[in-house]
Structure 1
Amino acid sequence: MKTISHVLLLAVLLVSLSCQNQSTKKESTIPTLKEAFEGKFLLGTALHVDHTNGVRKQSADLVEQQYNSIVAENCMKPEEIHPSKGVYNFKEADQFVEYGEKNNMFIVGHTLVWHSQVPDWFFLDDEGNTVSREQLIERMRDHIHTVVGRYKGRVQAWDVVNEAIDDKEGLRKSKWHQIIGEDFIELAFQFAHEADPDAELYYNDYSLILPHRRAEAVKLVKNLIDKGIRVDGIGMQAHYGIDYVKIPEFEKSITDFASLGVKVMLTELDISVLPFPTEEISAEISQKYALVPEFDPYTSTLPDSMQAKLAQNYVDLFKVLLKYQEKIGRVTFWGVNDAHTWRNNWPIEGRTDHPLLFDRNNQPKKAYHAVLELANSPTKG
C-alpha cells in the first residue's frame, strides 16, 4: 500500500513538472519586440543612468530582452557631459556606451545641440557678456569634436540638432540662432561629420505631424542636403496623447520625410492617457502647470477601457510604420516602464501616467500584446 502511494505521488510530481516545463517552454517561445520586428526596423528605448549602473536591474533585464537599440535619456546632453568651460564629465556616458556594446545594441547619442539643458556658460564670456559668433562656433566645434570623437566607431548615430523649429513659424530664436545665425545647424552637422565620418547624423524634433512643423522640417533638411551637408535621418519625436494623432497626417509626415532620401524614425514614443491642460498639445519641455485632481484620474490603476484605448492607439501607429517599414529605421520608446516615464512629471509634476508598453512592475500591458500580435499578423494590419 505504501509502495503504491509512493508510485502515485511520483506520478503526480512527474505530471506537475511536465506541465511546468511545457508552460515555461510556451512562455519562452513568445517573441520579444526586437524579434517580432526583426528585418523591419530597430526597436529601442531611452535609458536612465540607473539602467546602466545596476540600480534598476529588473528594468535593465527587460531592456536586454526586448530591445536592440538604446538612446541616452540625459547623460549625453550638454549640461550633463560638459557642465562648465573646459570640464567634461564622461562617467555616465561611458557607462551608457559600454552597456550598449556589451549587449550588442545600436547606440544613439542624444543630443549635441539643443536650446534646453545646455549650461549658460556656452553663451557667456569671462566677464558675463554674450560671446561673439566666432567664440560660440568654436565652443560648439570643441564640444562636438570632443564628445563625438570620444565615441568614434562606438556610437553608431547622433541626434545632432534637437528642436530647432519654432512652434509658430520658421526657426526657434534660441541662443544658438541669435548669436551664430541659422547656419548654426549646418555647422553642427559639419562638425559631427568631421568628428566621426561613419556615424549616422539625425535631425530630431517634436510635433512633426503638424503641417506647419512638418513643412519647416522638410525645408530645413532639404536645405542641408542641397548644400552637401550629410543628414542621414529625421527623428519624429512621438510624445503623443490618447486620440491625439491624426493618422493621415502621421502618414504624410513619413512619406514627405522619406522623399528626401533619409531614414525616418519615431524617436521618443510614448502615449499619455492623461488629459492635457491646454487645447494646444506640444512637447515643449518648458511648459508647466499646477496639479489638480481632474488632470490625474488614474492614480491607482488604469481601467480596462483605457488599456484597450491605449492599445488601439499603438496599433494605429504601428500599422502605418509597418506599411512603410522599408523607410523606417528605428522606433524608440522614451522610457522602459510607466514608473519612470517623464510623463509622470510633464507638463504637470507628480501625476500618475501610463504611456508605455510595460507597467510599473515591468509587466507587459494590453498594448504590448496588441503590438506583438500586429507584427506577427500575416496581413500586417
Structure 2
Amino acid sequence: MKSLQKLATIALAIILMGSCTAQEEATTLKDALKDYFYIGTALNVPQVAGQDPQAIEIVKTHFNSVVAENCMKMMYLQPEEGVFFWDEADAFIEFAEANDMQVIGHTLVWHSQAPRWMFVDENGDQVSRERLIERMKTHVQTVVERYKGRVHGWDVVNETILDDGSWRQSPWVRIIGPEFVQMAFEFAHEIDPDVELYYNDYSVSRPEKRDGIYNMVKDLIDNGVKIDAVGLQGHLSMDFPTVEMKEEALQKLASLGVKVMVTEMDITVLPWPSRRHSAEVSLNYEISDEYNPYPNGLSEESYTALMDKYVDFFEMFMRNKDIISRVTVWGVDDNQSWRNNWPIRGRTDYPLLFDRDYQPKSAVTRIIELANAKKQ
C-alpha cells in the first residue's frame, strides 16, 4: 500500500511539474523566439528621445535587437564633408546598451540618403574616382571606429543589385565601379575585425536578383572578403513573395556558408499602384481612394488574411532557424510605419505586428504559441 501511495505521490509531482512548465511558457516574442533567432525592430529618433513611451515599452517587452531607422545613414551622420553629427546615433546606441539589446548598424554605404556633396567636387562636377574612394573610406572607418565594440553587425552595403540581377548604376558604380563593394567591406573590417559585416537588399525572392546577389557574395568570398551574412529585406505584400519563394532565396544564399537575416519586415495590405512590386524608395505615386481602401480600419477578411500571412512566414523562419540569425520588423506600430507614406503619401496601412493603439495583433499571440509548441 505504501508503495502505491509513493507512486501516486510521484505521479502527482510529475503532473504538477508539467503544469508549472506550461505556466512558464514564453509570453513575449523575444522569449518565445530566443532559441530560434533574434527578433528585432527599427527605432526612430522621437522614440529613442522618449517622445513615444508606449512604443518603447513594446520594444523593451518584445524585442532583443534594434536597428536605427534613419539616424545612422550617411546623410545624417555626415551632412557636410568632415562634419559628423553623432547626437542621435549616440542616443540610439545608448538606449540599446541600457536595455541589453543587440545593435545593428544601418547602413554604411548606400546610393540613397547619401549627402549631396559625396559625389561632386568643389565646382559641382562629378568627383574623381580616387577622391570618392577616399571619401567612402573616411566615412566608413570614422563611423565604425566610433562604435567599435558597441555594434554587433553592420549593413555595410545596401541595395546595389537590381531586380534583373545586374549592377545598379548608382554613383558608386558609375564612378568607382562594382569593386566599391569589396572596398567598403575591407575598410570596415580593417577598423573592427570582430564586428559582423552584412550585405542587405530587397526583392531577393526574385530569382534573377537572388542569383545576382549570390554571384556577388560568392565573388567576395572567393576574394577573401569577410562577409558574415546577407540581409533579405521583408517589405512584403499579400501576394508577393510567397513563403516558398522567400525560403528558396534564404536557403540558396545560406548555401554560400553565410548566415541569412530577414530585415526590414512589414506586410502591406494595400493595392500596389504598378504592375511590378518593389521596395525602391524613390517610387512616388499620387493618392486616390482606389489605393487607400482602409482609411478607417481593415475589414475582418483582410485582417485575418494578414495575420495568417505573418504566421506562415514566421513558421518558415522557425523551420530554418539553423541558417537565420535574426528577423527584424521595420517599425514598432502601424502609426509610425513608413508604409503609410510610401509609395503613396497619406495612405493608411497596417503592416506591423502592433496596431495604432499599441496593442499586439493576433499574429503576435499565434507566433508565440507556435514557438512554444515547437519547443515541446
TM-score, normalized by the shorter chain, greater than 0.5: yes
Where does residue 10 of structure 1 map in the other structure?
none
Deviation at 1:246, TM superposition (A): 1.8
Quote the Cα distance in structure 1 between the aligned partners of 2:80 and 2:23.
Answer: 50
Deviation at 1:240, TM superposition (A): 0.4
Where does residue 297 of structure 1 map in the other structure?
293
194, 197, 200: which one aligns with 1:201? 197
Alpha carbons 1:308, 1:367 under 8 Å: kept: no
Q: 1:27 to 1:378 in 2, by over 3 A?
A: closer
Quote the Cα distance in structure 1 between the aligned partners of 2:146 and 2:195.
Answer: 12
Where does residue 235 of structure 1 map in the other structure?
231
Q: Which runs of 4+ in 1 moved over 3 A?
A: 26-30
Where does residue 184 of structure 2 map in the other structure?
188
Q: Aligned ranges for residues 1-381 of structure 1 at < 5 Å? A: 31-378=27-374
1:54-80 residue CA offsets vs partner (Å, 9 max, x unmatched): 111110111011000000100000111
Residue 264 of structure 2 aligns to a residue whose secondary structure is strand
1:235-263 residue CA offsets vs partner (Å, 9 max, x unmatched): 00010011322222111111101111111
Query: Identity of aligned pairs, percent?
Result: 49
1:87-108 residue CA offsets vs partner (Å, 9 max, x unmatched): 1000000000000000011100
Alpha carbons 1:307, 1:366 under 8 Å: kept: no
Structure 2: segments with no counterpart, 5+ residues: 1-21
Residue 378 of structure 1 aligns to a residue whose secondary structure is helix
Deviation at 1:29, TM superposition (A): 7.0
Residue 339 of structure 1 aligns to a residue whose secondary structure is helix
Quote the Cα distance in structure 2 between the aligned partners of 1:329 and 1:28.
Answer: 25
Q: TM-score if structure 1 supplies the norm length?
A: 0.91
Residue 162 of structure 2 aligns to a residue whose secondary structure is coil
Structure 1: segments with no counterpart, 5+ residues: 1-25
Residue 269 of structure 1 aligns to a residue whose secondary structure is strand
Quote the Cα distance in structure 1 between the aligned partners of 2:345 and 2:365.
Answer: 30
Residue 351 of structure 2 aligns to a residue whose secondary structure is coil
Q: TM-score if structure 2 supplies the norm length?
A: 0.92
Deviation at 1:365, TM superposition (A): 0.8
Quote the Cα distance in structure 2 between the aligned partners of 1:242 and 1:248.
Answer: 14
Quote the Cα distance in structure 2 between the aligned partners of 1:307 and 1:162.
Answer: 32
Quote the Cα distance in structure 1 between the aligned partners of 2:260 and 2:26.
Answer: 28
Deviation at 1:379, TM superposition (A): 7.9
Quote the Cα distance in structure 2 between the aligned partners of 1:45 and 1:97.
Answer: 14
Deviation at 1:294, TM superposition (A): 1.1
Return 317-326 or 219-228, whichever deviates more. Answer: 317-326
Quote the Cα distance in structure 2 between the aligned partners of 1:132 and 1:28.
Answer: 61
Quote the Cα distance in structure 1 between the aligned partners of 2:336 and 2:108.
Answer: 24
1:21-69 residue CA offsets vs partner (Å, 9 max, x unmatched): xxxxx99976100000011100000000111111111101110110000
Q: What amino acid sits opposite 1:343 in the alignment?
A: R
